[in-house]
Amino acid sequence: MRPSRQFRSQRKRADQRTDIVWQIWTDSYVAIRSKAAGGRLSEALRSYSHAAEAASPASRPPAARARPGLSELTTVLAELTHQLEQAQSGALAQIDAAEQEASEARNLAETAEQQAAQAERARRQAVAAERVAHNRQLEAERRLDDTRTDTERIRTVAWQQVAEHEAARGGAEAALDAARSAQADLTDQRDSALRTADELRASQLIQAKQLEALRRALAEARAAYDARADRLTLAEQALAEAAADKAALREQVSAALARAETAETERDRARAQAEQAAAEARGDIHNLRADADRHLTVITTSHQAELAALRASAQDARVRAERAEAQADAAELQRQIFARQLHDLRAEPDISSAAAGGQA
């Protein structure tokens, strides 16, 4: 780990202070040596002066007695000695100050080393945290793979159910072909009902109006129920089959809703990866809804055909007509329940889309 800029600046200042201390020590040593030499010279001059004064003036030549400057030289040497002593005192004071600065520099260096050790520990902690984050990332990727596997499994199951529903729809289409071959006179009405299927899915009010029209048709058919008891029996069988078809459709719708809820839960858990599965589930729900609408159209057409036939030929079974009316009311109630479920299915993609938008 590279040292920080503050640590380098502190280390540089400590080195500079150490150089200053060594320079002061060197200067002090030179000054002390110079002072010692000056002291020896001063002592020599003093001894020479004392010897010259102790000598007799008669023994000296006249020129020697008249020599000035020796005392001045002694005075100058004394001043130099005093200056050297002052310089020595100042050097000692500088040495003490330098030692204090060196101590401070050592303290700063120790502090910097401690900071470097703390930085090293922080780096190790960061490396450990990075390893932990990497492990968590690997765990998240593993969970994401598990979620993707579950999504694929759910998708496979959904396609299997779609295939089963396609098979059931094939059977219903075969029954519809048989009804078409038996009731060729109602082809125009069936085509008009198919053209208005989208309007039936889009508007609950239109369905209510059609149900009211069905009630009126049943009221008008009460007089015709007495003629043909066998056709009434066929009508009851058709109603029973219609109820069975409605029950099967309700089970399929419930299964589709369960799959949709499961897909929504998986989408919340897997975020973006599960959105595709949710879209596929919504597609399955849309297909189921379309099939249910087609079955509803077939049932409605069958009811209209039976009512038209009963209107022409059923006049002998009034007691059974009342019973058939009650069964028709029950079928109508089931139809309303199924229409409400279809309405909930229509609203479900909007809710899922809104939830997906909120999460994004």
- The Cα–Cα gap between 188 and 32 comes to 132
How many CB atoms neighbour CB 344 within 10 A? 12
Q: What secondary structure letter does DSSP report for 2?
A: P
- The Cα–Cα gap between 229 and 227 comes to 6
Residue 125: partners with Cβ closer than 8 Å, 6 or more residues away: none
The ranges assigned to domains in the chain are: 5-55+69-138, 183-359
Task: Evaluate whether 91 touches 31 at the Cβ level (below 8 Å).
Answer: yes
How many CB atoms neighbour CB 128 within 10 A? 10
Question: Would you mind telling me the total number of residues written for the chain in this entry?
Answer: 360
- The Cα–Cα gap between 325 and 215 comes to 9
Task: Evaluate whether 314 touches 321 at the Cβ level (below 8 Å).
Answer: yes
pLDDT (0 to 100) of residue 177 = 74
**Residue in 89, 68, 73 with CA at minimum distance from that of residue 41:** 73
pLDDT (0 to 100) of residue 183 = 66
How many whole angstroms from its chain centre is CA 109?
Answer: 45
DSSP H/E element including 347 = helix 318-359
- The Cα–Cα gap between 275 and 356 comes to 8
Task: Evaluate whether 258 touches 340 at the Cβ level (below 8 Å).
Answer: no
Q: H helices then E strands: how many in the chain?
A: 9, 0
**Residue in 306, 308, 325, 312 with CA at minimum distance from that of residue 224:** 312
In angstroms, the Cα distances linking 94 to 22, 26, 101, 166, 242 are 11, 12, 10, 103, 114
pLDDT (0 to 100) of residue 343 = 78
**Burial degree of 284 (CB within 10 A; 0-12, 13-18, 19+):** buried
**Residue in 208, 191, 188 with CA at minimum distance from that of residue 200:** 208
Residue 307: partners with Cβ closer than 8 Å, 6 or more residues away: 214, 217, 218, 221
pLDDT (0 to 100) of residue 41 = 45
Mean pLDDT by 10 residues, the chain (360 residues): 60 67 61 52 49 45 45 70 73 74 76 80 83 84 83 78 77 70 67 68 66 75 64 70 74 71 68 63 70 70 65 60 70 76 71 49
Residue 345: partners with Cβ closer than 8 Å, 6 or more residues away: 253, 256, 257, 285, 288, 289
- The Cα–Cα gap between 114 and 318 comes to 106
Q: What secondary structure letter does DSSP report for 183?
A: -
